[in-house]
Amino acid sequence: MLRDGVILLAFQAILLGIAVLLLFRLRPLFGLVPLYVLLGAMQILQVLSGAILVSATPGIAVSPGSAVLFSAGLAAVLLVYIREDALETRRLIYALAAANIITGALLVSIGWQVDAPGTVNLIGVPAAVFKRTAYDLLVGTGLLVLDALGMVILYEALAHRLRGLFVTVAGTIVTVLCLDSVVYISSTLWDRPDYLHILCVSIVSKALAGLWFASIITYYLQRHERDPDAGDVDAGPRDVFSILTYRQKYELIKAASVRDDLTGVYNRAYFNAHFADLLQAAREAHRPLALWFVDIDHFKLINDSHGHAAGDRVISAIAGAIVRSRPPAECVARYGGEEFVAVLQGVDIEAATSAAERLRREVEQLQVADDLDIPLSITVGVAGFPGDAATAAELVEIADRRLYAGKNAGRNRVISTG
């Protein structure tokens, strides 16, 4: 029997996860209405199954309504928040709240009808059941709104502090679910002798469900969804959804604006705006700083003979090699078509020259494509602070001049003097 209970709970979690993701995936065809209808139905089922406890292990009983349905509902709200805009999330939360309030009022009225003289109750459901369901639905609606608001705030906070989509999504869902258990059970069952046992079971079961839904949401987002575009978050009245989403998406756009689309390293505008600050930080810390100016040799020949797609692969591969270089660069930027710059903080010109030589040898060994019959190589000009120059513009000029000295000398070399 215990095994059957666990299997049914797992089946419900899998079914709901697939259903939510499938309906969300099909939104270009049907919109989000089918998903919202499902969430509304899940709210009703959550209330009806809230008093059902399924044996999971000896001495531990889990409510499918609390652990599975409620967790799935919050996960679906977070999915909409991440991939749609603030306006859509607000619509979802407010629509569910309004629908549940109306449904609760109808349940109360049906309970009155059951008690009314002359009413024939064919299935014998007492009026108290309708009234209790209405009460639980309204309480659940209030918790849903509060949990959704808390989830928005927490997701925004974690998205700026944690690395990795799964960690952020799981941290958001699990934390909100656990706090919900503490608040709800402590406010309703605090006087029971088995209060702590019930609380622990609720927290563990919701945490496990939250991890499951976070896992499938992360997999879905990484495999089937593009990065979200900036939505029109200013439409309609401003509230916590629009304010927080605006901040996150503004920062996503801001971050993307300083990155090179092909390689993911910084672009020239970012380098030009920040190199002087990096040099000033080195000056104040009395530390050396080195600058690499890197050019891909014979790149035009690669493009002309193998096409721009092959050229793009070469650029990306060499950018990756520069990023992986040791010592690591503080800032790697694509300066031009096949030119890169890299800033090495705390590295003197001798160490920077040795590192550039290692990079040059690594590039010679890169295997970008089987049909690329042109040997890969780079030429690097190296300049150092404070020995070569005292300003950012002078360092760039010297590194650039040494780069072209290397190209004129036959390419595939590192030049750090002259």
Does pTM top 0.85 for this prediction? Answer: no
pLDDT at site 196: 87
Q: What is the pLDDT of residues 223-245, one digit of tens each?
A: 887 544 333 333 344 455 555 55
> What domains, with CATH codes, occur in the chain?
2-257 (no CATH), 266-415 (3.30.70.270)
Q: 84-88, 98-102, 394-398: which has the minimum mean pLDDT?
A: 84-88
Question: 218: pLDDT confidence band, cut at 50, 70 and 90?
Answer: very high
pLDDT in tens, 340-361: 999 999 999 999 999 999 999 9
- Per-residue 3-state assignment (H helix, E strand, C coil) for the chain: CHHHHHHHHHHHHHHHHHHHHHHHHCHHHHCCHHHHHHHHHHHHHHHHCCCCCEEEECCEEECHHHHHHHHHHHHHHHHHHHHCCHHHHHHHHHHHHHHHHHHHHHHHHHHHHHHCCCCCCCCCCCHHHHHHHHHHHHHHHHHHHHHHHHHHHHHHHHHCCCCCHHHHHHHHHHHHHHHHHHHHHHHHCCCCCCHHHHHHHHHHHHHHHHHHHHHHHHHHHHHHCCCCCCCCCCCCCCCHHHHHHHHHHHHHHHHHHCECCCCCCEEHHHHHHHHHHHHHHHHHHCCCEEEEEEEECCHHHHHHHHCHHHHHHHHHHHHHHHHCCCCCCCEEEECCCCEEEEEEECCCHHHHHHHHHHHHHHHHCCCCCCCCCCCCCEEEEEEEECCCCCCHHHHHHHHHHHHHHHHHCCCCCEECCC
Which tens digit of pLDDT belongs to each residue from 268-304?
A: 999 999 999 999 999 999 999 999 999 999 999 988 8
Across the range 174-198, mean pLDDT stands at 84
Q: What is the pLDDT of residue 351?
A: 95
